[in-house]
Structure 1
Amino acid sequence: MSQQTQQTITLIGGGLVGALLAQQLAQRGFIVDVYEKRPDPRHAGFSGGRSINLALAERGLQALRTAGLAQDVLQRAVMMRGRMVHTPDGRSGLQRYGVDDSEVIWSVSRGALNMLLLDAAETAGVRFHFGQSLVDADFNARRIRLADEHGIERSIDAKVLIGADGAGSALRAAMNAYAPLGERVESLGHAYKELEIPPAGELSSDRLHDSGGHDQFALEPHALHIWPRGGYMCIALPNTEGSFTVTLFLPAQGAPPSFAQLPDAAHAAAFFREEFPDLLPLIPRFAEDYDSHPVGSLSTLYLDRWHLDGRALLIGDAAHAIVPFHGQGMNCGFEDTVTLAALLAESPQDTAEVFAEFQRIRQPNAYAIATMALENYVEMRDSVADPHYLAKRELGALLAERVPQHFMARYRMVTFTHLPYAYALERGRAQDQLLQQLLQGSTDASSVDLDAAIATVQSTLPPLPNLRNG
């Protein structure tokens, strides 16, 4: 971008998506100012909202490759090969995400990743302004009002505004007040609370499980652990230092089990002894964690409009926050940044057209991954131990091996390719319908005539697009 066309972009929000977008825009020659309400986490410590571990998959990795940061991030991540499902009788088994170790996801720390992205953006020339909350926006005058941590306000020019300030976006609120965006927030009715399994060295030997020879970890580290119980569940994701972040998902209200019925650690411990007896001994600070950690809400955000002509645009969770059950919230937001940065680089002076095109491309995919994330919650808490689900999974794996150009599990399409989310949703539904038809109610995949099934797949499903792994 030449000096004559160099443009200033004002970004609200310096979290994961905001920092990555800022870096990519600065690399393309834009002048970027980022206003973040929190203090700089590199000096004040990370104190972001949700601290659920993040699952980094191919879409997010591709965005980090574009920014030249993928290897730095992977050095701070733990590989997860699949779901380690823990049944009520104490057994466990791994359900792989992909075909082999070339198809894995990565557990990353939200705080560590945010700080790495801030460093990279600053190196690229981005100017960060921390402790600056958006108070209001005058879209006609193209100015915004900010307040510092002491409540002292100031007004600045902001000809092009981009909001990457998360699900509770202050910019979205200002835009919606100026011109309604068609906002709908649908609560899941379920909530979450975080707990922690410490490194193995902090547990007595009688509490340890099989960690696959990894002495630092109390459980197998290269897996996302799930304790599905039908209607609710616990999960645990590994951290690089040997601990696991445990998240309990329950209905928020209603008859037991719900968070309303577990008001304190004493009630919760009794519940865990009944439902998660193998997990409770691994959480020595259970009472402290349960009583001190808040109950988090889970909702999906839908907007009819993401932008005000060329003046303001929402991106990431500010535009399309989803529940975390497909591990795609961050990956979707990172994919947003690649699309937007490329569009702006092509037409830096026509932000109205760029913002409209960005919404046209990304909105159907945001809707699709929101749908799949909700469906994946049911799969994780209920289906992973269901015989019919397991039969469909086994038959699907056989078909994917024999006719990979015609069949790929929806999870793999979402997690390990760049196929649009909307395509993965549609194709996944067609494939699932076909699997149901082939099994005819059976829970035994070997009962299906595989050669006949392959012929049916080839005649029913068109070949997959050639978009795997980039």
Structure 2
Amino acid sequence: MSSQSVQQKKKIAIVGAGLVGALQACFMAEKGYHVEVYEMRDDIRKSEKVFGRSINLALSCRGKEALRMLGLEDEVTKNGIEMFGRMVHDYKGGTKFIPYGKENEAIMSIDRRKFNELLISAAESYSSVYINYCHKLVDCAFDRRELTFEKSETKELKTVKFDIVMGCDGAYSNLRFNIMKNTKLQYSQEYIPDRYMELRIPPNADGSFMMPKNYLHLWPRTTFMLIGLPNVPDHSFVMTLFAPYQIFESLDSDRKVIEFFRANFVDALEMMGEAFVTNAFRTLPPLPLVSVKCKPYNLEDYGVLLGDAAHAMVPFYGQGLNCGFEDLIVFNEFMEKYDHDFKKVLPEFSEYRSIDAQAMNDLAMRNYKEMKADVNSRLFILRKKLDNILYWMLPKTWVPLYTSVSFSRIRYHQCMANRDWQDKVINRAVVTLLCCTMAGLTYLGFNMGYFAKLNSRLAPWCSRVTEMINFK
């Protein structure tokens, strides 16, 4: 029997028709498999309101590559808008621009719902793909290769057979929960102390954007921050306030909310309107943010976790979507490498990919501090400029962290290792320069009688620089 015939006879069950699930359905259909997708929600293309987050998505190199492989990049990107860097807002409404990378390097802001609708339609365009809506996974009998779903409208139970099951059902994955009961899966989750609330800046009366559109707008305030991403469909900005839960708890009246926004986000408040902001705080609960790590991603040769089900991450690097889509690229590469032998594909994929996904999880956590605090630091700006100069001089040797993560397909764990190496090089160079400078000044001081005077003037400065350096 030919390889193609075997593939056509295998049934792939995908749990979740979100972004990763819908795109994986396309990948598997392209390979000749029969694909059944089971989605807990109704068809979002027919729903007025969709349950879940509405924070706009940041699409960059890794995600675009997955779309390009299926001929979907142009259709998706025409519904997005490029962002070339961060536009940082100060307390008085002034701004400064911090580019992401080179002049032409940009990430793309895309409406989450529109993106998901496009991918669902793409999946359903394959005759071998069928999406079952309103199906909630309630039980798995892996020994019999059976999944049991509850139909949300009738509460009727439906049991289906599968050959390979793929969990694309998000951070709170039901499939992962069932896999944990059947294997020694290492699992951890971390809720960060901060919550988030979604807000909105509407378009101008003439339908234009209220702020410059090709930027991620950022109001960093050390322990909390507000961000705004441009939205193509209606020229609004999707705004998100990230803050410790205690801050949300303290804003328990309209007066306190307005005072808080006037003190910290005066320009954003003017654009959103006081009535809108106070109503949002009265009606919207601040939502939690979770980071998930697990290993392995596979259950023998018939089950695998992909996307957030395997590695949900906080949204501060804009890589959740891109990391999930890159999962599919890597999975596809292993299928080709092992000629669809899932006894090899699934464990090899899990071992290879988990290293990178866990590194990206850590980078996302690390980037929160950068976004809410470090961007206001002169040392941070200086480091960005130094990285860009060295990148221009040594493009193959010195690639800035953000560039390697967002504008290349360098493995995530290598991006992190490269940054650690760069930190060591810079720190040692600074220490060496300081030592040489002090040695030279000491020599001059002893020979010209100025040592005591110079030492008293330079000591505070040297102490301050030393404190700013993170010795590795």
TM-score by length of 2: 0.87
Residue 61 of structure 2 corresponds to 58
For 2:160, the equivalent position in structure 1 comes to 156
Q: Which has the higher helix share?
A: 2
Contact 2:91 2:263 in 1 (8 A): no
Match of residue 433 from structure 1: 424
Is the alpha carbon distance of 1:428 and 1:26 closer, same or farther for their aligned partners in structure 2, counting shifts above 3 Å? Answer: same
User: Which stretch of the first structure deviates more once superposed, 27-36 or 41-50?
Assistant: 41-50
Q: Is the 8 A contact 1:21 1:341 kept in 2?
A: no
Please say if residues 195 and 290 of structure 1, whose CA atoms lie closer than 8 Å, have aligned partners that are also in contact: no
Please tell me the residue identity of whatever aligns with 1:327.
G
Deviation at 1:349, TM superposition (A): 5.4
CA distance in 2, matches of 1:366, 1:265: 42
Distance apart, 1:440 and its partner CA: 5.0
3-state SS, counterpart of residue 86 of structure 2: strand
User: 1:207 — aligned with what?
Assistant: none
CA distance in 2, matches of 1:265, 1:364: 46
Q: 1:349 to 1:22 in 2, by over 3 A?
A: same
Corresponding residue for 1:334?
325
Change (3 A) 1:111 1:376: same
Say whether the 8 Å CA contact 1:79–1:105 is kept in structure 2. Answer: yes
Q: Distance in 2 between matches of 1:302 and 1:332?
A: 13
Inter-partner Cα distance in structure 1 for 2:19 and 2:98 = 29
Partners of 1:71 and 1:48 in 2: how far apart?
A: 27
The 1:264/1:436 distance shift into structure 2, 3 A limit, reads farther
Cα offset, 1:346, TM superposition:
4.8
1:319-398 equivalence runs, <5 A:
319-347=310-338, 350-398=341-389
What's the secondary structure of 2:266's corresponding residue? coil
* Correspondence for 2:229: 237
Partner of 1:194: 198
CA spacing shift, 1:138–1:263, aligned 2, 3 Å: farther
Q: Aligned residue for 1:297?
A: 288
CA contact (8 A) 2:92 2:267 kept: no
Is 339-348 or 401-410 further displaced after alignment?
339-348
CA contact (8 A) 2:145 2:161 kept: yes
Q: Structure 1 residues 228 and 124 mapped into 2: Cα distance closer, same or farther (>3 Å)?
A: same
Verify the 8 A CA contact 2:306 2:327 in the aligned structure 1.
yes
* Residue identity opposite 1:322 in structure 2: M
Partner in structure 1 of residue 461 of structure 2: none
Of 158, 161, 165, the match for 2:169? 165
Distance 1:419 1:266, change over 3 A: same
2:140 counterpart residue number? 137
Contact 1:196–1:289 (CA under 8 A) maintained in structure 2: no
The alpha carbon displacement at 1:336 in A equals 0.5
- 1:227 maps to a residue whose letter is W
Which amino acid letter does the alignment assign opposite residue 229 of structure 2? L
Residue in 2 that maps onto 1:72:
75
2:260 is the alignment partner of 1:271? yes
Give aligned pairs, total: 425
The secondary structure found in structure 2 opposite 1:183 is strand
Report the secondary structure of 1:117's partner residue. helix
Q: Which residue does the alignment assign to 2:37?
A: 34
| CA distance, structure 1, for counterparts of residue 431 and residue 209 of structure 2 | 43
Match of 1:311 in 2: 302
Give the secondary structure class of the aligned counterpart of 1:43. Answer: coil
CA distance in 1, matches of 2:424, 2:374: 16
CA separation of 1:298 and 1:19: change in aligned 2, threshold 3 A: same
Structure 1: give runs of 5+ residues left out of the alignment. 203-214, 443-470
Matched with 2:244 is: 251
1:410 and 2:401 correspond? yes
What are the Cα deviations for residues 11-62 of structure 1, in whole angstroms up to 9, with x where unaligned? Answer: 0000000000110110110111000000001112451411111000000001
Provide the rounded CA distance (Å) in 2 between the counterparts of 1:38 and 1:327.
25
Deviation for aligned residue 1:93? 1.0
Give the whole-Å Cα distance in 2 for the aligned partners of 1:441 and 1:220.
Answer: 43
What is residue 414 of structure 2 aligned with on the other side? 423
Match of 1:233, as an amino acid?
M
Q: Is the 8 A contact 1:194 1:290 kept in 2?
A: no
> Cα RMSD between the aligned structures?
1.7
Find the counterpart in structure 1 of residue 209 from structure 2: 217
2:357 is paired with a residue of what secondary structure? helix
Q: Secondary structure, in 3 states, of the residue corresponding to 2:243?
A: strand
CA distance in 2, matches of 1:151, 1:188: 35
Deviations 1:227-269 (A, max 9, x none): 001011000000012100110000123xxxx222224554322
Q: Distance in 2 between matches of 1:342 and 1:45?
A: 38
User: For 1:356 and 1:9, how far apart are their aligned partners in 2?
Assistant: 17
Quote how far apart the aligned CAs of 1:439 are. 4.3
Q: 1:382 to 1:33 in 2, by over 3 A?
A: same
User: Which runs of 5 or more structure 2 residues have no equivalent in the other structure?
Assistant: 434-472
1: CA distance, partners of 2:41 / 2:203: 30
Question: What whole-Å deviation, never above 9, does each CA across 1:121-142 have from its counterpart, x for those lacking one?
Answer: 1112311000000011011111
Match of 1:463 in 2: none
Alpha-carbon distance in structure 2 between the residues aligned to 1:87 and 1:437: 33
Q: Distance in 2 between matches of 1:376 and 1:99?
A: 20
Residue in 2 aligned with 1:260? 249
Per the TM alignment, residue 67 of structure 1 is displaced from its structure 2 partner at its CA by 1.2
Please give the residue correspondences for 1:77-116 in structure 2 after superposition, counting only pairs within 5 Å.
77-101=80-104, 103-116=105-118
